Amino acid sequence: MSYKSEFITFMAQSGVLTFGDFTTKSGRKTPYFINTGNYKTGGQISRLGEFYAACIEEHIKSGELPEDITALFGPAYKGIPLAVSAAAALYKGGRDLNYCFNRKEVKDHGEGGSMVGYKPKDGDKLLIIEDVITAGTAVRETLPVLQAAAKVEVPGLIISVDRMERGQGELTAIQEIKRDFGITTFPIVTVVDILETLSGKEVDGRVLIDADIRRRMEQYMADYCVK
C-alpha cells in the first residue's frame, strides 16, 4: 500500500474524513467532509507528520522541490503542529530542517516580533505547511508575514488534501495561488485519490464509499471540481 492509500485510510480511521450529508462554508451540499480538527492524540499527530514528510521527500526526489529547503513554516494556528510534526518526521528520516510559525499578535516584549522558532533570513527557502485549502485565504495572509521577516523564497505549499474545487471563478484555490504568487501546491492526496482508494473498500468492517456515495461524489465533482 502506498503512503497515499495509507493516509486516506488513516484519515478515515481518525474521524477526519467522513461521508454523508454536509454543507460547506460556501453553501455547497457535499457527500464528504474533511475536518482536520479531529486529530487529537500524540499518535495521530506523529503519524500525520510522517505523511507530510513522505510527500515532501517524494517531490524533492522528483526535482519539483529543491534539495536545499531551509525551513518549514506553519501558519497559526492549524499549521503549527503540522510543521512541527513534519520537521520531526523528516529528522527521523535523516533530513534536519528548521521550523517556524507566526503569532497572531506581534509580541511587544522580550525578543519581540511575530515569528517563533527559526528566524528567516534573506535567501532562505521556506515550505508552507497547511491542512486543507478552501479559498486560499491563509496563504494570502501568510506571504506578507514571511516577506516582512526576510526576503525569502517559497518553493512550495504542502497540504493534506486537494478538494480540486473551483473558487468563485473557473480556477481552484490552488490554481489561483499558482497564478497570483507562482507557488506550486503539493497535496498528499486529492479527492480523486480518495474516491479511487475507498470505493467499495472496507475500513474497520464498514464500506465508506458505497455505490450511492460514489454516485453522489462523482456528481459533486462534475458540478464543482476541476480535474
β-pair partners for 116: 101
Q: Give the active site residue among 29, 40, 61, 107.
A: 107
Q: Which of 3, 9, 30 is nearest to 198 (CA)?
A: 9
Q: Give the active site residue among 25, 104, 109, 227.
A: 109
Given a contact cutoff of 8 angstroms between Cβ atoms, the answer to whether 44 and 15 are in contact is: no
Rounded Cα–Cα distance for residues 14 and 144 (Å):
34
Rounded Cα–Cα distance for residues 151 and 3 (Å):
34
Active site annotation includes 109: yes
Take residue 129 and report the three cell numbers written for it: 505547511
Take residue 86 and report the three cell numbers written for it: 513534519
Take residue 173 and report the three cell numbers written for it: 484555490
User: Where does residue 29 rank: exposed (0-12), middle (13-18), buried (19+ CB within 10 A)?
Assistant: exposed
Q: How far is CA 90 from the centre of its chain?
A: 16
Active site annotation includes 107: yes
Take residue 20 and report the three cell numbers written for it: 454523508
Q: Annotated active-site positions, please? A: 107, 109
